C-alpha cells in the first residue's frame, strides 16, 4: 500500500515535539487523532516507527528514515512555495511594438533576447510600421509601444494620453562618394548634389535644417526611404546622403566614405506609449526598460 505523504507530517511532529501529547498540542489535534495517523503510517509501510516506553516514545531506525524523508519533503515544499510566490509577482503579458528596420535590428531584437532571460513571462510581438501607421495603431490599442525617429531639433509631439521616452541619440553622418573631395565643414556642402531622403523621415527634416544653416536649399536628384538604396546611389557617385549612425553599422559599400562633421546634429529614437492611471502596465514598463538598456550598450563610434 502506498504511503500517504500527509501522514509523515504527524511523525515529524512527534519527533520534533518529543511525544504524541506534545505533537497533538503542536498540531491542535487530540492525542487520539495523532496516534491513529501514526498507526496508519506503520500499517502502510509495514514497519514500527515509534518505540513506546514508560518514559515516552522515541523513533525507531525506520521511524528516523521516514522522519528525515518528511523533513526533505517539507523543505522542498517551502522552496516550491517561494518559487510560486515569485512567479505570482513576476511580470507577464504580451507587448506589441511598432518599429522600423534600423532600430529593430540594433535595439529591439537585443532587448527581446534580454527579456527572455529577465522576464520570461513577457512576450514581445514586433510589427514593422511607418510612424503615422504606428501612432494610429497605438491610439486604437493595437500596439503598446511605437519606436520612432525625429531630428534633434524637432519638438516633441506626443498627444494627450501618450508619453515619449527618449531611447537613443545617434549622430548624423555624411555618406560621400569616394570620388568627391572630403568636406571639412558644413559650408563646404553648399552646392553639392544630394541623394534626398523621403520627406516623411527625420533625415529630411535634418537636411532641411542643414540647408538653413548653410544658407542654401539642398538640391536632390534622387530620393530614398531605404538606407541601403541611399548607400548604393552614393557609391554610384549620384550624390551625398545624410544618414544616421545606426544605418552604417553593417558596413558601407566600396566607393563610399563616411564623414562626421561638427554641426550635423543627431537623430533621436523615441519610444511612445499610452500614459494613464493604469498604463503603462508592468509588462510594458519592463519592455521599455529593456529597450533603454539595449540602446545604452550600443557603440556608435
Q: What is the pLDDT of residues 271-293, one digit of tens each?
A: 999 998 888 989 999 999 999 99
Residue 15 pLDDT level (bands cut at 50, 70, 90): confident
pLDDT at 83 over 70: no
Q: Which of 45-54, 77-86, 243-252, 266-275 has the lowest mean pLDDT?
A: 77-86
pLDDT at 88 over 60: no
Nearest-10 crossing angle of helices 109-118, 282-296: 120
Query: Distance between CA 70 and CA 64 in Å, rounded?
Result: 10
Burial class (CB in 10 A: 0-12, 13-18, 19+), 208: middle
Beta strands in 178-259 (DSSP E): 193-197, 219-224, 241-244, 256-259
Share the mean pLDDT of the chain. 89
Any idea which fold 5-88 has?
Arc Repressor Mutant, subunit A (1.10.10)
Q: Cβ–Cβ contacts within 10 Å for residue 179, how many?
A: 8
pLDDT at 265 over 70: yes
CA within 13 Å, CB half, 19: 8
Q: Which of 27-31, 43-47, 51-55 has the lowest mean pLDDT?
A: 51-55
Query: Distance between CA 180 and CA 176 in Å, rounded?
Result: 7
Q: Please, are residues 23 and 13 in contact by the beta-carbon 8 Å criterion?
A: yes
Query: Distance between CA 166 and CA 120 in Å, rounded?
Result: 25
Residue 198 pLDDT level (bands cut at 50, 70, 90): very high
Any idea which fold 93-296 has?
D-Maltodextrin-Binding Protein; domain 2 (3.40.190)
pLDDT at 133 over 50: yes
* pLDDT attached to residue 232: 96
- What are the extents of the domains in the chain? 5-88, 93-296
* pLDDT attached to residue 2: 61
Residue 75 pLDDT level (bands cut at 50, 70, 90): confident
Amino acid at each position: 500500500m502506498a504511503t500517504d505523504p500527509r501522514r509523515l507530517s504527524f511523525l515529524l511532529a512527534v519527533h520534533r515535539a518529543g511525544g504524541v501529547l506534545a505533537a497533538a498540542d503542536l498540531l491542535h489535534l487530540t492525542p487520539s487523532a495523532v496516534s491513529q495517523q501514526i498507526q496508519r503510517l506503520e500499517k502502510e509501510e509495514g514497519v514500527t516507527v515509534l518505540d513506546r516506553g514508560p518514559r515516552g516514545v522515541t523513533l525507531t531506525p525506520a521511524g528516523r528514515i521516514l522522519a528525515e524523508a518528511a523533513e526533505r519533503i517539507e523543505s522542498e515544499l517551502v522552496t516550491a512555495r517561494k518559487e510560486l510566490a515569485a512567479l505570482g509577482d513576476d511580470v507577464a503579458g504580451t507587448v506589441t511594438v511598432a518599429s522600423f528596420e534600423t532600430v529593430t535590428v540594433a535595439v529591439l531584437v537585443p532587448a527581446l533576447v534580454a527579456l527572455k532571460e529577465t522576464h520570461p513571462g513577457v512576450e514581445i510581438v514586433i510589427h514593422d510600421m511607418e510612424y503615422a501607421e504606428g501612432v494610429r495603431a497605438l491610439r486604437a490599442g493595437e500596439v503598446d509601444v511605437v519606436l520612432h525617429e525625429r531630428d534633434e531639433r524637432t519638438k516633441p509631439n506626443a498627444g494627450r494620453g501618450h508619453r515619449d521616452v527618449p531611447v537613443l541619440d545617434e549622430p548624423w553622418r555624411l555618406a560621400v562618394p569616394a570620388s568627391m573631395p572630403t568636406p571639412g565643414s558644413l559650408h563646404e556642402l553648399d552646392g553639392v548634389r544630394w541623394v534626398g531622403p523621403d520627406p516623411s523621415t527625420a533625415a529630411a527634416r535634418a537636411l532641411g535644417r542643414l540647408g538653413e544653416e548653410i544658407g542654401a536649399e539642398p538640391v536632390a536628384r534622387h530620393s530614398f526611404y531605404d538606407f541601403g538604396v541611399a548607400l548604393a546611389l552614393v557609391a554610384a557617385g549620384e550624390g551625398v546622403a545624410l544618414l544616421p549612425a545606426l544605418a552604417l553599422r553593417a558596413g558601407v559599400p566600396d566607393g563610399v566614405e563616411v564623414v562626421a562633421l561638427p554641426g550635423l546634429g543627431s537623430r533621436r529614437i523615441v519610444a511612445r506609449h499610452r500614459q494613464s492611471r493604469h498604463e503603462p502596465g508592468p509588462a510594458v514598463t519592463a519592455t521599455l526598460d529593456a529597450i533603454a538598456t539595449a540602446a545604452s550598450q550600443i557603440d556608435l563610434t
